[in-house]
Structure formats: structure tokens, C-alpha cells
């Protein structure tokens, strides 16, 4: 049963569909997802079926698309490029076959060609004597736009057919699309250039084909896959659809490698299921499967209705884009402190599941979309990808829509949120305290180049936090043997070994401790420079941004990170707890960088060192002011070569660099330290 409609409501529905057609086909700026458009069209068809006296020639149900763009010259399709009817359930697909058998007056099993329905733009390619002479869009199915020059830029479209035996006149029809990888890269570059990205690959393909300058189209990563032949003169093609495509492939056209031939509608349903499971692994977007009666004589016998062939149907996948309402925005804290806005949505079925949350990425994305609480938004979900808000339906914005404000304090620990100029991501600065970041902070603190706590690996850290035994890095030094031995795969001996490793790690160096704190963008070299420059942790903690800028390799952004970190009371409290637990290091007198004996020198380490590890050698050199590089170049001052040195040694010899072995390196270290 359908809702009762009057004539005025029918006209309003037709006008709404016409507007969507105009935005999609003429402006290349669709305002609703495909699923919403399909619903409106099916609603119109249902009303006109119920009231055939209301059916008029100007109804959107009686035409295939909107008028073509006027910027290109017009081309008339000698054989119309009709659209396909859609199926949205197994029952509708079964009805499709029932109608075919009734029309053929036969119960014989039917052979079907199965092809993925590429989500792109249909085009017509005309070849005369094997040469490409004209290309057009589908337009309204009867008249399209001449986009020959743009199509010539697509590498997968042959300008001259290969092989032999082609008809004198051959029209090839196919889909131009933008692969997923190319689409993502194009949008990444667009955002970097502060330009508007495309909403989806189909929209990207359409916009690319309608560029007046073919040089622009040539820069777009477009591909074309053929799906049928149209006009054929002075020549013949096989009498099976799939054989036609195989012949076109031999003449130089791309055909879909997922194409298959099956017998019976049950096999079609099985193919639909199988390819649906593979959909997200494909390198291009598909929105359904097209099933065609494979026999061309049977196709001719079945014929057409006014707008579509009777012998083909598109079984659509669950929509990957849907409209819903944005109810609220919450801000989540990731394991590295990144603040991510999450849209709370009125639940909507999209991509095969019910979605109530979607990512908004960052504040830049919120501003780009101009999204507000209360807006009607388009949500996209593809496979296991996190659902995201891709656009706003501005025409449906309510008067009370609320502007979204980004928080200045962490919603988890109340630490300051910092966002660097030129960066999209804002982060919580409470790294040692914030519960959202605790696992990552502890893993970094215990790592080999930081506090080097042997036995405290990632899985054990996860277990300690999950069991509630550790909340901050300071808590690890309060662990007891009876607590540890109760953990899975942690016996008394393992617990004892970990406690010994914790005790051993308490004796460290100032630069290692600074690095272990996990201050953003403070790596080993920066931590060493801070230790050398200030000599004590207290002086680092109280240093102003201006004084931090006098430390080598520290610029305004890193100085801001350091200063902000030590201004957080939570972080200072954790440091005090670590000192109370016994973490210590020798205090050093500040040593101006200019006085360091290896300042300005670049070393490369290669091969195996017998008396120290490569990391120890690197730390020794950095403490003396040297830069340790991973590759040999003309700027390298010394190559330290251990046993089994390889290509780096060969390159150093070719550049006539100074090469020292381990024995000489140890002797030089003593001299440089003196």
C-alpha cells in the first residue's frame, strides 16, 4: 500500500526530483545521496502506477536524466543510451526473471552476464576505421555532450584499435571512473592547497570530464571500463554479450576482471553475495551488480520499456551514503592526545549497518563543511572504514542550528589543549596524567631508549592498565611481587625479574629521563641538547620559551611544547612522584654547545661494534655535540666502521671520508671527553 497523494503533491514531488537532476547532471553538485534519490523516484513511479491518468510526458519517470551542459556541443545518440531498472532485494530480482520467462513463454534456464556496477560516468566512444573520432556523455540518453578532447586524455581509452576485424563504424560504451587511491590522493592535494575536495569518486569523475580545458582532465587519475557496444556498421560482433566484451578487450579496451557468466537467478544472487563481500577490497567503487541476459537474440526478443531494457537490471548494494540529523558533537582523546570531534547522529542505516556516530576529523574539517548541531548531513560508510560526515544539506538547515566550538581544555583530564599554527590536529598536553593516553605514555617511558625497563613490554603494560594496577608512569615503581604474579603468564620468577629491572632503571641520565617523559617532538637529540644546555631538570622545567629558543635545534613550536608540558600541574606531580620513588641521575654543570668538542661534526656508524652497542656509541657522540646520521654523504665527517661493514663503508671510501675502526673510536672518545 502507498500513501494517498493528491495531484498537487505529485507535482511537488516531480519538481523536487527535477531539481536533484539539475544539481547532479548540470551543476555536478548533488544535494542528496543516491539512496535518497532512488527512494523519491520509486515513490513517483508508485504513484503514477496507482494513478496512470496523472502520467505526463514531462514526468522525471519518462526521461533518463537532465539536459546536458550547454558549454559543450551537443551529440545525438543514434542508439539511445538507456538507463537500467533497479532491484533492492532478492524478491525484486526473482520478479525480474519471472517477467523475462513470462515474456519469452519459456521456463528454460537463462544464462546471465554478471558485472560490477562501476560508480562513475557513462560515456560513448565512436570509432571509424579503427580510429577514435568522437566521445560523448550519456546526457539524457538521447543527446549528450561532446567531450572528445577530455576522453582522449584517459590512457585506458585507445586512440587506435589494436588487432583486426573491427567494424567500419563501432560505438563502444563504458564507464569513466576515478579509482579509490587516485581519489584519496587528489583530495589530499586539494586540501593541502586549500581547495574544495570532491565528496566521492563518482562526483570527481563527473567534474573531471566536464572541464573545458583538457589539460586539467589529463591531470586527473581517470580510467574507463567498457560494458557494451552501441552502433555497429559494416561489421559483425558475437551473439553473446560476454563474447562481445571479450572481443572489445582484444581490440584494446579494458573490461572488468570480476565479470562472470552464470545460469539461473539463484546463481545471480550468489554472485551478488560473493562480490558484495569483496567490495571493499576492490580498487574502485561499485554500487551494485548489473545482470544481463547474455544472449543478444534473447535481448532483442525481450526489447525495451520506455526508459530501460527488459533484459537487464541493476541489483544495488545497501547505500554507502545517507541523510540524517546531527544531534550533538563530542570530543574524544586518542592514545597520543589527539582531540577528535565525533558526530552523534540520529541513527541511520547506511553501508549495511545502523550508524549513530561518525568522525568529523578535526576543527579544520568542521569549518570546511560549515557543519552545525541540528544540521541535516550526508554520512558515508564504506566497509570497515569509520563513518564520516561528508557534506551538509544547507537547504534544510534549521534556524536554531548551533555553531560547534572546539574545547580549550581536555575533556578527560582538564589539561590545556594545544594546536600548533599550520597543524590540523589539536592535542591534550597532559601526557603523563591523562587516562586516555596512559598506555602509550607508559610504553614510551619504559622503552629501550628511554628508561630501558627490561621485561616491561607492550602486552604487560596493557595488562597492568587493564587490571587497574597502573594509572601513571609513577605507579610502575610501586608494583609489588604479589600483584604481578597474579597476572596471566607472570609467575613469581618473572615478577621478581621485573622488580629488579625497575630498580635498576631508577639510575638513569637526565637526557634519558627528559626523553622518557614523552614531550611532543622532543626526541633523543633534543633531550640531550636540553640536558647539556641547562644541566638540571629544575632549570628545564622553569625555562621560558625565549630561553628554550637558545638551545640548538629547538624552534618556536618545540619550545612551546616543552614550556606547556611543564606548566601542567599534573605533569609536575607525576615527576615529583618519580623522584620520590628513587629515579635519579647525576647532575651536570651546564655546558654551552659551542664548547662541546664534536659540535658541528657528523658521524655515521656501520657494522658491528664489539665493546658497546650502536645505541651506546650514538649516545656518547651526541653527548659530545655530534650529529649521528643514518646515511653517508659528502657532509659526513667520520665513518665509524665495525666488523661486517657493508655498503656504507664502500661509499665512504669512494668519497674519501675519514674512516676509523672501533679501537680508534674508543681511543678518540677518551680524548674528546677530556
Tens-place pLDDT, residues 640-656: 998 888 888 988 998 98
Residue 456's pLDDT is 92
Q: Which three cell numbers stand for residue 322?
A: 545517507
Buried/exposed code over 481-490 (b: 16+ C-beta within 10 A; e: otherwise): eeebeebeeb
Confidence grade of residue 22 (pLDDT, cut at 50, 70, 90): low
Provide the β-strand partners of residue 314: 86, 290
**With pLDDT > 90 as the criterion, what percentage of the chain qualifies?**
44
Among 8, 14, 101, 117, the active-site one is 117
pTM: 0.56
Q: Which of the following CATH numbers is that of domain 321-403: 1.10.10.10, 3.40.50.620, 2.40.50.140, 2.60.40.1180?
A: 2.40.50.140
> Which pLDDT tens digit goes with each residue over 422-446?
677 888 988 788 888 888 889 999 9
Question: Comparing C-alpha atoms, which of 638, 644, 641 is closest to residue 657?
Answer: 638
Percent of the chain predicted with pLDDT > 70: 94
The pLDDT, as a whole number, for residue 674 is: 62
Residue 504 falls in the annotated catalytic set: no
Across the range 38-44, mean pLDDT stands at: 86
pLDDT reading at 420 higher than 80? no
pLDDT digits (tens, 9 = 90+) for 620-639: 787 787 888 888 998 999 99
Say how far apart CA 327 and CA 398 lie, in whole Å: 12
Is the pLDDT at 293 greater than 90, yes or no?
yes
The pLDDT of residue 231 is above 90: yes
Domain residue spans of the chain? 7-62, 75-316, 321-403, 435-580, 596-673
Record: fold of 435-580: DNA polymerase; domain 1 (1.10.150)
Q: Is the pLDDT of residue 657 over 60?
A: yes
Segment 97-125 mean pLDDT: 94
Asked whether the predicted pLDDT for residue 98 surpasses 70, the reply is: yes
* Helix spans in 279-362 (H): 296-302
**What sections of 219-281 are H helices per DSSP?**
241-250, 265-278
pLDDT at 57 over 70: no
State the pLDDT at residue 320: 80
At residue 643, the pLDDT reads 85
The dihedrals phi and psi of 310, each to the nearest 5 degrees, come to: -80, -15
Q: Give CA–CA dist 636/600, Å, rounded.
A: 10
Q: Which helix (H) or strand (E) holds 327?
A: strand 321-333
Return the C-alpha cell found at 175: 564507464
Residue reference for cell 573520432: 133
Cα–Cα distance, 366 to 390 (Å, whole number): 10
Distance CA(290)–CA(185), nearest Å, equals: 29
User: Could you give the CA distance from residue 402 to residue 372 in angstroms, rounded to a whole number?
Assistant: 5
CATH architecture of 75-316: 2-Layer Sandwich (3.30)
Distance (Å, whole) CA 672 – CA 674: 6
pLDDT above 90: residue 399: yes
Mean pLDDT of the chain: 87
pLDDT of residue 299: 94
- Is the pLDDT at 69 greater than 70? The verdict is no
The predicted pLDDT at position 594 comes to: 56
- Output Rg (C-alpha) for the chain, integer angstroms: 34
Has residue 263 got a pLDDT over 50? Answer: yes
For residue 243, how many other CB atoms are within 10 A of its CB?
15
Q: Which three cell numbers stand for residue 112?
A: 546471465
Phi and psi angles of residue 539, each rounded to the nearest 5 degrees, phi first: -70, -35
Please name the residues in contact with 607: beta carbons below 8 A apart, sequence gap of 6 or more.
Answer: 641, 642, 643, 644, 645, 646, 649
Under 8 Å between Cβ of 149 and 123: no
The three cell numbers of residue 427 are 592535542
**What confidence score (pLDDT) does residue 182 get?**
92
Q: Which three cell numbers stand for residue 465?
A: 592498565
Q: Are 437 and 431 in contact (CB under 8 A)?
A: yes
pLDDT value of residue 64: 52
Predicted local confidence at residue 2, as pLDDT: 46
| Cα–Cα distance for residue pair 568/554, rounded to 1 Å | 20
Tell me the CATH number of domain 7-62, given options 3.30.70.3340, 1.10.287.610, 1.10.10.10, 3.40.50.1110.
1.10.287.610
Which pairing describes strands 638-641 and 602-606: parallel, antiparallel, or unpaired? parallel
The whole-number average pLDDT for the span 492-517 is 92
Q: Residue 296: what pLDDT? A: 95
pLDDT score recorded for residue 372:
95
Domain 596-673 has CATH 3.40.190.10: no
Distance of CA 583 to the CA centre of its chain: 43
Q: Which residues, other chains included, contact 429 with Cβ-Cβ below 8 Å and sequence gap of 6+?
A: 337, 410, 415, 416, 417, 418, 564, 565, 568, 571
Amino acid at each position: 500500500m502507498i500513501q494517498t497523494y493528491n495531484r498537487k503533491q505529485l507535482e511537488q514531488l516531480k519538481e523536487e526530483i527535477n531539481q536533484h537532476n539539475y544539481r547532479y547532471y548540470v551543476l555536478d553538485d548533488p544535494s542528496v545521496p543516491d539512496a535518497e534519490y532512488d527512494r523519491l523516484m520509486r515513490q513517483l513511479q508508485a504513484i503514477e502506477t496507482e494513478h496512470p491518468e496523472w502520467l505526463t510526458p514531462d514526468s522525471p519517470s519518462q526521461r533518463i536524466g537532465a539536459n546536458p551542459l550547454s558549454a559543450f556541443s551537443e551529440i545525438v545518440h543514434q542508439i539511445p543510451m538507456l538507463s537500467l531498472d533497479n532491484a533492492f532485494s532478492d524478491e525484486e530480482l526473482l520478479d525480474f526473471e519471472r517477467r523475462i520467462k513470462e515474456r519469452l513463454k519459456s521456463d528454460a534456464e537463462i544464462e546471465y552476464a554478471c558485472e560490477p556496477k562501476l560508480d562513475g560516468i557513462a560515456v560513448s566512444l565512436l570509432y571509424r576505421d579503427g580510429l577514435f573520432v568522437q566521445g560523448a556523455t550519456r546526457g539524457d540518453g538521447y543527446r549528450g555532450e561532446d567531450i572528445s578532447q577530455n576522453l582522449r586524455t584517459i590512457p585506458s581509452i585507445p586512440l587506435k584499435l589494436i588487432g583486426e576485424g573491427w567494424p567500419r563504424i563501432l560505438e563502444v560504451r563504458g564507464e569513466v571512473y576515478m579509482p579509490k587511491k587516485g581519489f584519496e590522493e587528489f583530495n589530499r592535494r586539494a586540501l593541502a592547497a586549500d581547495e574544495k575536495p570532491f565528496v566521492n569518486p563518482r562526483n570527481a569523475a563527473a567534474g573531471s570530464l566536464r572541464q573545458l580545458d583538457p589539460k586539467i582532465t589529463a591531470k586527473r587519475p581517470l580510467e574507463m571500463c567498457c560494458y557494451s557496444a552501441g552502433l555497429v556498421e559494416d561489421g559483425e560482433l558475437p551473439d553473446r554479450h560476454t563474447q562481445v566484451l571479450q572481443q572489445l578487450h582484444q581490440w584494446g579496451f579494458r573490461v572488468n576482471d570480476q565479470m562472470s557468466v552464470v545460469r539461473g537467478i539463484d546463481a545471480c544472487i550468489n554472485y551478488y553475495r560473493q562480490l558484495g563481500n569483496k567490495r571493499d577490497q576492490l580498487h574502485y567503487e561499485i554500487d551494485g551488480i548489473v545482470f544481463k541476459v547474455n544472449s543478444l537474440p534473447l535481448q532483442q526478443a525481450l526489447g525495451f520499456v520506455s526508459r530501460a531494457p527488459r533484459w537487464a537490471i541493476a541489483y544495488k548494494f545497501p547505500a554507502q551514503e545517507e541523510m540524517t540529523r546531527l544531534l550533538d558533537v563530542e570530543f574524544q582523546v586518542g592514545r597520543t592526545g589527539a582531540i577528535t570531534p565525533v558526530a552523534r547522529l540520529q541513527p541511520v542505516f547506511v553501508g549495511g549497518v545502523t550508524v549513530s556516530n561518525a568522525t568529523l576529523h578535526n576543527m579544520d574539517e568542521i569549518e570546511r563543511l560549515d557543519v552545525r548541531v541540528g544540521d541535516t548531513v550526508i554520512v558515508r560508510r564504506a566497509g570497515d572504514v569509520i563513518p564520516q560526515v561528508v557534506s551538509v544539506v544547507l537547504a534544510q538547515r534549521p534556524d536554531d542550528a548551533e555553531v560547534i566550538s572546539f574545547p580549550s581544555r581536555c575533556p578527560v583530564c582538564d589539561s590545556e589543549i594545544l594546536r600548533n599554527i599550520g597543524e590540523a590536529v589539536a592535542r591534550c598536553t597532559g601526557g603523563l596524567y591523562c587516562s586516555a593516553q596512559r598506555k602509550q605514555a607508559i610504553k614510551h617511558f619504559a622503552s629501550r631508549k628511554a628508561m630501558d625497563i627490561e621485561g616491561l613490554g607492550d602486552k604487560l603494560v596493557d595488562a597492568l592498565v587493564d587490571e587497574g594496577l597502573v594509572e601513571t608512569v609513577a605507579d610502575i615503581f610501586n608494583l609489588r611481587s604479589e600483584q604481578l604474579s597474579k597476572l596471566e603468564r607472570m609467575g613469581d620468577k618473572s615478577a621478581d625479574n621485573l622488580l629488579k629491572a625497575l630498580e635498576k632503571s631508577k639510575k638513569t641520565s637526565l637526557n634519558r629521563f627528559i626523553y622518557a617523559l614523552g614531550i611532543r617532538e622532543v626526541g633523543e637529540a633534543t633531550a640531550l641538547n636540553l640536558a647539556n644546555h641547562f644541566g638540571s631538570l629544575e632549570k628545564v622545567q622553569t625555562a621560558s620559551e625565549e630561553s628554550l629558543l637558545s638551545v640548538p635545534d629547538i624552534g618556536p613550536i618545540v619550545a612551546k611544547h616543552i614550556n606547556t608540558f611543564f606548566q601542567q600541574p599534573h605533569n609536575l606531580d607525576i615527576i615529583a612522584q618519580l623522584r620520590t620513588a628513587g629515579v635519579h641521575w647525576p647532575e651536570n654543570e651546564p655546558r654551552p654547545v659551542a664548547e662541546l668538542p664534536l659540535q658541528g661534526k657528523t658521524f655515521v656508524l656501520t657494522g658491528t661494534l664489539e665493546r658497546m652497542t650502536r645505541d651506546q656509541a650514538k649516545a656518547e657522540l651526541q653527548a659530545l655535540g655530534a650529529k649521528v646520521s643514518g646515511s653517508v654523504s659528502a657532509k659526513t665527517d667520520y665513518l665509524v666502521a665495525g666488523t661486517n661493514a657493508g655498503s656504507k663503508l664502500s661509499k665512504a671510501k669512494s668519497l674519501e671520508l675519514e674512516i676509523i675502526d672501533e679501537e680508534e673510536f674508543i681511543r678518540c672518545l677518551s680524548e674528546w671527553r677530556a
